[in-house]
Structure 1
């Protein structure tokens, strides 16, 4: 197992495999590097692929400090610097997209060659001037505060209704197994802090700063974010395209592993040949 220590003393787990154009995969909230395991293996046949556990997740340290998207972006920059990665195709899913937005906000795109954004919004909470956030425009500031209280009181009580919305096709023992994996594999204070970080984030002004070629990928059956959210992002990101995943929910990376690897490979390959 490989670990990298950040400038504030937190050890992050990462894995690296393959040679060639670098691809960095950033997982979402309550997940870890294994979310990309199958695409990781496929992509590593042609590329230098890195996946890692964000601080507080997976095998990485779970500190009391640095649980912000700004620190996550710094961790990402420090890891890429440590591995001497340039011309990176950066791929994020869900909170991994928020981390990508925060990265561009703080570090620009000089280290990046391309970006792929999987099923996320630039602003989670819906307000008077914004209805393209979580739950197709129905998630409010009050909802986020209520959810934070539930997460801090009982992660399972939050996870049950949340994952029923995310993956409505999972029921019975299979759903129970997934819930137990999420609850037993995570630390509540980390998830609460990062839910707060996403809820207060607003990256609409960052989108035009993503000047490298960008994929905006969304699940056609995602109950979290809409096609309209993806189209809005396309309007704001200069050199971007929208890619729908048919019959997929927010968990599109796992639901269509073959297409996930294919679209990332196509983006990274086009950058090699350009």
Structure 2
């Protein structure tokens, strides 16, 4: 198949070097399309820029669209990160490096939590927020598969990854992912072989991708455990500071999100003073990938409220 980056972005896949918490350089993959006010798309856990495949082109008709793979995901580098807090820090650096002005953020799932984390600390780089199905009030990792993988010792996953055994098991991996995606879409008929191919592509072809995913799951599981035990954690820190976020915010929530119920969206809406909530009927967790037309219809008018230069 044709390289997705080359087919999607005029300059294909580009590389940006940012710094981790210790000042070490990390290379992340990104693409951009369109012109005008900057819009940054932020994917969720286990995903990559392909997750925005149906929204990049229509949004690029109106804005300069930038999407990037978080470290440990997709085509970005996959270093070991001790804590989950690196994601909000990455987003800030991406905006600073690629945007000459504050940007609007459209973020889904864990990417939306990272966006909230950044917003509670610094809103100077933000204009508007679109948050889709956010894991802001989690009780556990949302799927059985995630909970199982998070319990496997990381060194075992790394060994499996480094030996590239996954390439020998590619058909099985795609089959398992195809079944897993039924959890995040309302209509399983929406799942295509092409989508499964590209969703799994980094895991099969990019060394470190499976270990990076497992590490992210372990980080998330630790954060939820700390939340339950009332120990210091990112989630409660964000929860406690939601009221400080004054950026105009649109919250989109899938009516049939099997991972995080609509009540979480309603609670988030009540905590954000300058927010509005829109429930997407018959939509599952992966709204960007399986409900893109409805997401676009909700997002475009909200983003077009951005101030226009005279």
Please state if 1:58 is matched with 2:74: yes
Contiguous gaps of at least 5 residues in structure 1: 127-132
- 1:45 maps to 61
CA pair 228-178 structure 1, distance change in 2 beyond 3 A: same
Contact 1:121 1:134 in 2 (8 A): no
Q: Return closer, same or farther for 1:55/1:18 CA change in 2, 3 Å cut-off.
A: same
Which structure has the larger Rg over C-alpha atoms? 2
Q: Secondary structure, in 3 states, of the residue corresponding to 1:217?
A: strand
Cα drift, residue 273 of structure 1: 5.6
User: CA 1:209/1:163 → structure 2, altered by over 3 Å: closer, same or farther?
Assistant: same
* Alignment match of 2:278 (pick from 237, 243, 248): 243
For the pair 1:97 / 2:115, whether they are aligned, the reply is no
What CA distance in whole angstroms lies between the structure 2 residues aligned with 1:11 and 1:61?
6
Are the aligned partners of 2:39 and 2:103 in contact in 1 as well (CA < 8 Å)? yes
Relative to structure 1, the CA distance from residue 252 to residue 100 in structure 2 (aligned partners, 3 Å threshold; closer, same or farther) is same
Question: Is the counterpart of residue 261 in structure 1 residue 276 in structure 2?
Answer: no
Instruction: Give the whole-Å Cα distance in 2 for the aligned partners of 1:124 and 1:159.
Output: 23
Q: Is 1:3 matched up with 2:3? A: no
Q: What is the deviation of 1:169?
A: 4.3
Give per-residue Cα distances to partners, 1:55-80, cap 9 Å, x unaligned. Answer: 111111122x3364321222211111
Question: Matched residues in 1 for 2:65 and 2:278: separation?
Answer: 22
Shift in alpha-carbon separation, 1:261–1:165, aligned structure 2, 3 A: closer
Q: Is residue 197 from structure 1 mapped to residue 197 from structure 2 by the alignment?
A: no
SS in 1 for 2:258: coil
Retained in 2: the 8 A contact 1:69–1:98? no
Q: Distance in 2 between matches of 1:191 and 1:149?
A: 12
Give 1:134 deviation, angstroms: 4.4
Change in 2 beyond 3 A, CA 1:145/1:220 = closer
What is the aligned residue count?
259
TM-score (norm 2): 0.73
What is the alpha-carbon distance in structure 2 between the residues aligned to residue 255 and residue 100 of structure 1? 22
Aligned mates of 1:32, 1:268 — CA distance in 2:
23
When the two chains are superposed, the root-mean-square deviation of aligned CA atoms in Å is 3.1
Does residue 288 of structure 2 align to residue 227 of structure 1? Answer: no
Change (3 A) 1:194 1:174: same
Q: Which structure 2 segments of 5+ residues have no match?
A: 1-12, 158-165, 167-172, 224-233
Between the aligned partners of 2:153 and 2:107, the Cα distance in structure 1 is 24
